[in-house]
């Protein structure tokens, strides 16, 4: 007698995982076949944007925490790396990890204030707190944010330019792949189940013993940690900064939000689609940053009204596809005969629908 | 005396913050709508005033006759054509639409008017002031701004408490479903509320432009100040918005006293700190009825 069980994998997600693994290996080996770095250098920006978009998506798409203050964690990461590597002589690559730790620690007091606000007011509240950090960096003599500060060759140690480029690229790849893996793993865990129950019915979830505040806080700290490390890698890629650019809401939150909305908020695949579209727009409008913001902003605003689940949501309306194994389905005798192809996958907890 | 002067100037500056906060407070009160493009719309209003004054040779104060109706119509149309589709228990779509709109406005202004700072010139009244003591003088422009802010908030309060339109606003705010059963067209009412919000924010933008120079990217800072005034004063309270604006203004000018030792960010930073302290100790605001 066969038993009923809940599964998250199906043939598609197995193929999806296999394809992702192949892509990852190809990208990982890139430094050894992309000799002149013509592909590697532009890819770094795409990869760190993917990491930022996945982390924003984890907050906004799954935990209902629509943060417009992500630039604070990027800026904290940038200034932590500068400070540790330049002022204290810590190894820059170790400092990347420390940047994440500092961002995670600082995210706790931030949460103590911001979590008192809901919805749109939470969004502006996080923005205010990001401004506080920007002003502190700008006015602090120690951080010297009003001046351009550069990660100098001395603090980058004895590493050659080629090694540095390769390590930065591999770190960006690790952050992007890691961010995607974190979202997939969180969704598969108890925490993911808790988040979805909160999203569907907050009071009901609370009644069943889900600690809403704790679940949100855990996700908040994870996102801060990863965003802070991403900030540090952004500095490794582009070693000069000042407070205005390190805490830029346009670069580190607006673009990230647009990428996530266009691709699909509340799905793991959405940010990957979004970042591909960002790459495309960037190639076409290389020297026109303002037009990039106008076009991506307009597409994102229109999509938020017409297709709130983004391109991934539009694809899902036609085909039930899942790239990563996160959706829970019941299989066993009598159910799921059409598993993976038909409506069963569109159950209430389907990722990307049923919000 | 220096400190007393800082407080007087802060109260005057607070008039401008209250004017900015009015529209944000109204849109939230009527339809729980948070407009993240609020500050950018004010700056847009100021730039429209720049174009109107140069094209028609008008005084910026007179240009309000053009700017306010234009923005009112824009607010009405945007709510009806776009924002209404985002109204749901889920705040995400409305945040995303207005945030995207704000970024588009900023960059469109950069493209149209360049990144240069602009100002609105109203003539010699800009530098004239009423001397109270040797150390304290009240500028005419800040004083007019404060009076206009009190007048706008007073008119809003009267409208909400005394008129049929105000009753309808309060009804949809309390219970949109029942209000609909009573024959209220809530979608249209939301558009009217957004039109009024745009009109007040346009006035605020023009007064900002008369008071100081401004650039295409100055919108977000104004949004944050307006939001802080609303939260400090308390959600759902018209006079709270005024009190919040005034307190924030005083925080800015008192903080500005530390400019020499700390830097130019000291005013806004003290403003943010006052906001965070109120948020931590009294989340419902000073005059608010409920926490949100």
Q: CA angle at residue B54 from B49 to B58, to 5 degrees?
A: 75
Nearest to B100 among A124, A132, A297 (CB): A297
| pLDDT at res. A29 | 82
- Nearest by CB to B292, which of A121, A129, A301? A121
Distances in whole angstroms, Cα of residue B178 to Cα of each of B6, B30, B115, B288:
49, 15, 49, 25
pLDDT at A231: 97
Range list of H helices, chain A? 11-28, 30-33, 40-57, 70-82, 92-114, 119-139, 161-188, 190-200, 202-207, 212-237, 243-246, 249, 255-263, 270-284, 289-306, 310-318
CATH number of the structural domain A5-346: 1.10.3470
pLDDT score at A351: 42
DSSP SS3 for A209: coil
Take residue B291 and report the two structure tokens written for it.
């926490």
Percentage of residues in chain B having pLDDT higher than 70: 99
CA angle in degrees (0–180, nearest 5) for B136-B142-B145:
150
Chain A residues inside the 8 Å CB shell of B86: 304-305
Rounded CA-CA distance B48/A296 in Å is 24
Chain A positions in Cβ-Cβ contact with residue B220 (cut-off 8 Å) = 127, 249
Q: Scanning every residue of chain A, which has its alpha carbon at the shortest distance from the alpha carbon of B24? A: A121
- Selecting from B85, B91, B107 the residue whose C-beta is nearest the C-beta of A119 gives B91
Exposed e or buried b for every residue in A272-282, given b needs 16+ CB within 10 A?
A: bbbbebbbebb
What is the C-alpha to C-alpha distance for residues B282 and B278, in angstroms, rounded to an integer? 5
Give the mean pLDDT of B224-235.
Answer: 93
User: B90 — alpha (psi -120 to 50), left (phi > 0) or beta?
Assistant: beta
pLDDT category at B1 given cuts 50, 70, 90 is confident
User: Which residues from chain A sit within 8 angstroms of residue B114, using beta carbons?
Assistant: none
Stretch 58-117 of chain B: residues touching chain A, C-beta under 8 Å: 82, 85-86, 90-97, 99-101, 103-104, 106-108, 110-111
- Spell out the domains of chain B, with CATH numbers in brackets: 2-115+130-281 (1.10.3470)
Report the pLDDT value the prediction gives residue A345, as an integer from 0 to 100.
36
On the CB side of B196, CA atoms within 13 Å amount to: 25
Instruction: Answer whether A175's CB lies under 8 Å from A225's CB.
Output: no
Report the distance separating Cα B81 and Cα B78, nearest Å: 5
pLDDT of residue B291: 44
Look at residue B121 and tell me whether its pLDDT is greater than 90: no
CA angle in degrees (0–180, nearest 5) for B96-B100-B102:
120
**In the prediction, which pLDDT does A126 show?**
97
Residues of chain A with pLDDT under 70: 1-2, 35, 321-322, 334-355
Q: Do A135 and B265 touch (CB under 8 A)?
A: yes
Whole-complex ipTM: 0.93
Cross-chain residue pair A308–B93, CB shorter than 8 Å: yes
* Distance of alpha carbon A258 from alpha carbon A292, whole angstroms: 11
pLDDT over 50 (residue B161): yes
How does pLDDT run across B83-117, given as a tens digit for each residue? Answer: 999 988 888 899 999 999 999 999 999 999 998 99
Q: Measure the CA–CA gap between A175 and A95, rounded to whole angstroms.
A: 15
State whether residue A208 is helix, strand or coil. Answer: coil
State how far the Cα of A164 lies from the Cα of B179, in Å rounded to an integer: 64
For residue A208 the two structure tokens come to 């069943």
pLDDT band per the 50, 70, 90 thresholds, residue B160: very high
Cβ-contact A169, A43 below 8 angstroms? yes
Tell me how far apart the alpha carbons of residues A252 and B213 are, in angstroms, rounded to a whole number: 27
Instruction: Copy the structure tokens of residue A328.
Output: 């829970």
Can you name the residues that pair with A203 across neighbouring β-strands?
none
- Which residues of chain B make contact with A298, given a CB cutoff of 8 A? 100, 104
Rounded distance between C-alpha atoms, residue B144 and residue A235, angstroms: 47
B287: pLDDT strictly greater than 50:
yes
Min CA distance, A156 vs chain B (Å)? 31
How far A50 CA lies from chain B's nearest CA (Å)? Answer: 19
Domain ranges of chain A: 5-346
Q: Are B232 and B278 in contact (CB under 8 A)?
A: yes
**pLDDT exceeding 90 applies to what percent of chain B?**
68
**Sequence-distant (≥ 6) Cβ neighbours of residue A106 within 8 angstroms:** A76, A224
- Give me the DSSP letters along A145-167: TTS-EE--TTTTTT--HHHHHHH
Whether B60 contacts B122, CB under 8 Å: yes
List, as one string, the DSSP characters of A315-354.
HHHHS---SSS---EEEBTTB-TTTTTSGGGGSTT-TTS-
């Amino acid at each position: 007698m066969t038993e009923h069980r809940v599964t998250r994998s199906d043939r598609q997600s197995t193929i999806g995982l296999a394809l992702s693994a192949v892509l990852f290996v190809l990208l990982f080996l890139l430094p050894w076949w992309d000799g002149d770095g013509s592909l590697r250098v532009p890819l770094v920006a795409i990869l760190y944007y993917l990491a930022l978009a996945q982390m924003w998506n984890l907050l906004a798409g799954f935990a209902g925490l629509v943060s417009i203050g992500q630039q604070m964690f990027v800026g904290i990461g940038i200034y932590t790396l500068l400070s540790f590597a330049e002022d204290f002589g810590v190894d820059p690559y170790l400092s990347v990890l420390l940047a994440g730790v500092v961002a995670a620690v600082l995210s706790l007091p931030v949460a103590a204030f911001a979590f008192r606000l809901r919805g749109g007011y939470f969004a502006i509240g996080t923005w205010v707190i990001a401004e506080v950090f920007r002003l502190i960096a700008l006015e602090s003599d120690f951080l010297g944010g009003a001046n351009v500060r550069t990660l100098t060759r001395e603090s980058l140690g004895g590493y050659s330019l080629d090694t540095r480029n390769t390590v930065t690229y591999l770190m960006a790849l690790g952050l992007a792949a890691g961010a995607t893996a974190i979202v997939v793993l969180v969704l598969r865990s108890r925490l993911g189940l808790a988040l979805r129950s909160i999203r569907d019915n907050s009071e009901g979830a609370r009644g069943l013993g889900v600690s809403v505040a704790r679940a949100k806080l855990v996700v908040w700290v994870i996102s801060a940690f990863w965003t802070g490390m991403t900030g540090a890698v952004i500095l490794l890629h582009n070693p000069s900064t000042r407070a205005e650019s390190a805490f830029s809401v346009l670069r580190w939150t607006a673009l990230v939000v647009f990428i996530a909305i266009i691709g699909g908020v509340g799905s793991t695949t959405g940010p990957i689609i979004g970042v591909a579209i960002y790459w495309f727009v960037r190639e076409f409008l290389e020297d026109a940053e303002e037009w990039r913001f106008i076009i991506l902003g307009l597409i994102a605003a229109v999509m938020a009204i017409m297709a709130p689940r983004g391109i991934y949501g539009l694809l899902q309306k036609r085909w039930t596809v899942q790239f990563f194994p996160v959706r829970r389905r019941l299989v066993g005798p009598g159910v799921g005969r059409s598993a993976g192809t038909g409506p069963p996958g569109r159950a209430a907890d389907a990722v990307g629908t049923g919000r | 005396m220096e400190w007393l002067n800082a407080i007087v100037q802060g109260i005057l500056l607070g008039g401008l913050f209250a004017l900015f906060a009015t529209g944000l407070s109204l849109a939230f009160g009527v339809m729980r709508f948070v407009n993240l493009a609020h500050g950018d719309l004010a700056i847009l209003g100021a730039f429209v005033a720049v174009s109107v004054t140069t094209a028609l040779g008008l005084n910026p104060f007179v240009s309000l006759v053009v700017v306010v109706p234009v923005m009112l119509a824009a607010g009405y149309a945007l709510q009806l054509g776009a924002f209404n589709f985002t109204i749901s228990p889920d705040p995400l779509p409305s945040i995303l639409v207005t945030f995207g709109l704000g970024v588009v406005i900023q960059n469109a202004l950069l493209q149209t008017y360049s990144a240069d700072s602009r100002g609105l010139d109203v003539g010699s009244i800009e530098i004239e002031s009423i001397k109270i003591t040797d150390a304290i003088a009240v500028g005419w422009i800040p004083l007019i701004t404060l009076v206009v802010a009190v007048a706008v908030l007073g008119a809003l309060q009267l409208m909400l408490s005394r008129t049929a339109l105000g009753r309808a606003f309060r009804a949809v705010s309390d219970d949109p479903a029942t209000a609909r059963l009573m024959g209220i067209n809530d979608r249209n009412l939301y558009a009217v509320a957004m039109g009024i919000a745009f009109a007040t924010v346009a006035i605020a933008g023009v007064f900002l432009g008369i008071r100081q120079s401004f650039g295409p990217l100055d919108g977000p800072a104004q949004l944050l100040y307006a939001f802080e005034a609303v939260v400090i004063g308390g959600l759902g309270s018209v006079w709270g918005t005024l009190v919040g604006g005034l307190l924030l203004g005083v925080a800015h000018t008192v903080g500005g006293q530390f400019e020499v030792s700390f830097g130019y960010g000291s005013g806004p930073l003290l403003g943010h700190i006052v906001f965070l302290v109120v948020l931590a100790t009294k989340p419902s605001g000073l005059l608010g009825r409920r926490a949100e």
